[in-house]
Amino acid sequence: MSGAPFVVVIGPPGVGKSTVAAQLAERLGRRYVDSDALVEEREGRSISDLFVDEGEDYFRAAEQRAVLDALTEDGTVLALGGGAPMIPALTEALRAHRVLFLDIGIADAAKRIGFDKSRPLLSVNPRQSWIKTMEARRPTYEALATHRVDTAGRDVETVVAQALTVLEEGA
């Protein structure tokens, strides 16, 4: 598809979307784009600061604008923030793209992000918040996914290798 990312990487907090997407881009010789970094660049503030200073609605509107713009860039590997696919306009837009869902369970997510409360939506009771968030988001992630890789117990290199395989098979 011309004028579209090569693949859009989605999944919950702690799954490694940014890390995997960056390595996929490197291995494929493509440009890596991170929607959270785009928002921070455009807004001149961290996502945590946006949540605190402006609220989640403001952040989601900024995220929507950034992602819709990024979805027009040709051939990139685009990593989305965990909540981006839940924005109705983005849910709809993503249906026209190749989407890689990186999946993870609570035990592995806890090891990776430590539930240290540094993520805005996990700041109160991080473990329970993650479970509740994932229960709400999983159906959307699964519905949008054209490809899925389970990251449980796997290192980044293994996840990237499997992602490359599933993307190649589905090409």
Sheet holding 7-10, edge to edge: 32-34, 77-79, 7-10, 99-103, 147-150
Give the 3-state secondary structure of residue 33.
strand
Give the 3-state secondary structure of residue 170.
coil
Q: What is the pLDDT of residue 159?
A: 96
The domains of the chain are located at 7-169
Q: What is the pLDDT of residue 110?
A: 60
Counting as low any pLDDT under 50, the low residues of the chain are 1, 115-118
Q: What is the pLDDT of residue 86?
A: 96
What is 7-169's CATH number, 3.40.50.300, 3.90.400.10, 3.40.50.620, 1.10.30.50? 3.40.50.300
